[in-house]
Amino acid sequence: MAEVSTARRGVNARSRRRLNVVRGVIFVVLGLFFLVPLYSMAEFTTRGAGAQAHRSLDAWRAIVSYPDLTRALLISLELAAITSIALLALLLPTLVWVRLRLPRLRRVIEFLCLLPLAIPAIVLVVGLAPIYLWVTYFFGDSSLTLAFAYAVLVLPYASRALDAGLSAIDVATLSEAARSLGAGWPTVIFRVIVPNMSGALLNAGLLSVALVLGEFTIASLLNYTNLQVAINMLGRENAGVSIAVALGSLLFAFVLLVAISVVGARRHGARTVEEG
């Protein structure tokens, strides 16, 4: 008996070790796949002018000397914030309502939400252009009006994330329990549903932010300047600086992602820790 179990433990240990090796290899390969371009970018931006020049951070320092660029960066950040907040504020009550009151419309809504995924950006722009005549008429010709187009663009991702979050809880019973205890609909959504799907909300928000920060096509075709458009224009003039900004925005998105998931994990952890 003892021998058998030792032997089995030996086999287990061996296969586990093999698994670890495979994991390690995959990790390293993927890491290289992501890191090499980033490293190349970093290397490029720190190359000094001339063949024999020393490493320098001139390109990075130069970023601030392009006011257009900082303005575009701010616009992109504002767009990201506006898009994600507006979309969540619109989408969450809608999805909850459809789930509770119009379950027959669920497939239709799902289809509508996924539609932007199936339509190429360029086609989207063709449709958006005439609408933007009205948008600029009502809201002025600000780059922030891109938030409308971006909300549509982000819709498939955000709705998927929220739908998954809603499926994970018993929305109907929880909201009925809350209502019978005296909660109105806003209370139901903010005190009962939102706290129980904070993970999904973070995901949806993060996806929106990442998408908006990286968007180029629609902004460019509609003649607005966002971060990516500005980077592209700058690239023709000063490649070093444009790459520096691109790398910076990538790192920013990465830091944001990690920060949000850490915050999410911490909040969840606080809830489960006191088990003992």
Partner 1 sequence: MTEVQVSAPTTTRAGVEVRLEDLQRRYGTVTALDGLSLTMEPGELVALLGPSGCGKTTALRLVAGLEDADSGRIVVGGKDVTGLPANRRDMGMVFQAYSLFPNMTARQNVAFGLRLRGVGAGERTKRAGEMLELVGLSAQSDRYAHQMSGGQQQRVALARALAIRPTVLLLDEPLSALDARVRAQLRDEIRRVQLEVGTTTLFVTHDQEEALAIADRVGVMRAGRLEQLGSPSDVYARPRTPFVAEFVGLSNRLAGHVNGGTVDILGLRLPLVDPTTPDGGVTAIVRPEAVGLRNVPDDTGQDALVGTVVATAFLGAISRVTVDLGGGALVLAQLPTSEAADHPAGSRVRLTLRPDPVLVTPLAVGEAAGVTA
- Alpha-helical segments (H) within the chain: 2-45, 58-62, 67-101, 106-118, 121-139, 146-167, 171-180, 185-187, 198-214, 217-221, 227-237, 239-272
Binding of partner 1 at residue 10 (CB under 8 A)? no
Q: What is the dihedral of CA 98, 104, 108, 113, to 10 degrees?
A: 30
Binding of partner 1 at residue 274 (CB under 8 A)? yes
Provide the minimum distance between the beta carbon of 66 and partner 1 in the complex, in angstroms, as a whole number: 46
Read off the tokens for 263.
Answer: 């915050």
Binding of partner 1 at residue 270 (CB under 8 A)? no
Binding of partner 1 at residue 275 (CB under 8 A)? yes
Binding of partner 1 at residue 271 (CB under 8 A)? yes
Binding of partner 1 at residue 196 (CB under 8 A)? yes
Residue keyed to tokens 């371009």: 37
Part in contact with partner 1 (CB under 8 A); list of ranges 61-69, 75-83, 107-115, 173-181: 173-181
235's CB contacts (< 8 A; 6+ apart) are 242, 243
Stretch 132-171: interaction string toward partner 1, x if CB under 8 A = -------------------------------------xx-
Contacting residues toward partner 1, per CB under 8 A: 169-170, 173-174, 176-184, 187, 191-192, 195-196, 271-272, 274-275
